[in-house]
Structure 1
Amino acid sequence: MVELPRVPDDEPALRAAFSRFPSGVVAVAALVDGAPAGMSASSFTSVSLDPPLVSVNAHVKSVTWARLADRPRLGLSVLGEDQADICRRLATRGLGDRFAGVPWAATGSGAVFVEGATAWLECEITQRVPAGDHEIIVLGLHAVATVPDRPPLIFHASAFHRLA
């Protein structure tokens, strides 16, 4: 039998353990009062093919998520390997215009997409599940587009990486 250490009580140790799993990064964005609003999330995952569902997680105290949560459609952009600066910009708290200098486009339904991403998903919220200090947001897909030869941005051990 394997004995593992107990879950640490300190947040840095938990963050270090969680960061050992590499993931892609998405921009979650929509028009709010006619301007793009968005955030980055490394918690993106596919959920179901039938019906087509994905999910992201958002901190319950996120001011940006509070602005996006009531939008009819959200745009998810799977960021490309050269978009680390965009990811950092979308993750910066207290930044006035996170989309300043970021090329973007919007759909008629208000979903916002970052240009140059490797995939785009137009979604609507189907379920919000409380989960500790975050909530899991389940999203139904309405439209998707990909650029298969464009590698994604990888987040691992609190740093950005490229596929080898």
Structure 2
Amino acid sequence: MTQFGSGVTVPVTADDSGRSWGFTASAFCSVALDPPLVLVCPARSAESYNAFVNSRRFAIHILGSDQSDVAMRFAEKRTDKFEEGRWRQAADGLPALDGALARVSCVTHAVHDGGDHAILIGRVVHAEVDEAAGAPLLYFRRRFLDPVAS
């Protein structure tokens, strides 16, 4: 699967106590236009797994080529993922990363078994696009690529 290039996202949610959770995902895609559905796949081994599969809402940030540091931070097991970077609280009550190419706010539509991952399907309720943002962050052969330099 390393031969398949993909974009890089950071999904975020909050648990019942209000704690923010997030992880790095390349398993993200559009599922349907009517209603607008997207999917993302959290790993069962991730600390954030229960927060995502039990949440009624989540948001997905599509990262820009200058945000590989964000992708790396959210791929690690650590508690301070939201301390660095330009984070703010969005209208949906979840963290929003300034400078992301786009942010898709969802309500949970369905959760399916995906082996060692869950398939989390969200109904899009709001989307923001940063028209001033540059190129997407791409992942190919286990490394990030700068599409502008490639």
Letter paired with 1:87: A
Q: Using the alignment, how far apart are the partners of 2:14 and 2:120 within structure 1?
A: 18
Over the residues paired in the alignment, what is the CA RMSD in angstroms?
A: 1.5
Query: Cα distance, 1:151 vs. partner?
Result: 1.1
Name the counterpart of 2:65.
81
- Percent identical: 28
> Greater CA radius of gyration, 1 or 2?
1
Q: Normalising to structure 2: TM-score of the pair?
A: 0.89
Name the counterpart of 2:26.
42
Determine which of 42, 48, 52 is the counterpart of 1:58: 42
SS in 2 for 1:66: helix
Q: Using the alignment, how far apart are the partners of 1:116 and 1:87 within structure 2?
A: 13
Q: Using the alignment, how far apart are the partners of 1:73 and 1:104 within structure 2?
A: 18
Query: Cα distance, 1:112 vs. partner?
Result: 2.1
Q: Using the alignment, how far apart are the partners of 1:86 and 1:110 within structure 2?
A: 20
| Pair 1:30-2:13 in alignment | yes
Unpaired runs of at least 5, structure 1: 1-17
After TM superposition, the structure 1 = structure 2 runs for residues 133-144 of structure 1, keeping only pairs within 5 Å, are 133-144=116-127
Name the counterpart of 2:89.
106
Unpaired runs of at least 5, structure 2: none
Q: Normalising to structure 1: TM-score of the pair?
A: 0.82
SS in 1 for 2:41: strand
The structure with more helix, counted as a fraction of residues:
1
Determine which of 79, 91, 105 is the counterpart of 1:96: 79
CA contact (8 A) 2:13 2:51 kept: no
SS in 2 for 1:45: strand
Query: Cα distance, 1:98 vs. partner?
Result: 1.0
Give every structure 1 segment of 4 or more consecutive aligned residues whose post-TM-superposition deviation is greater than 6 Å.
none
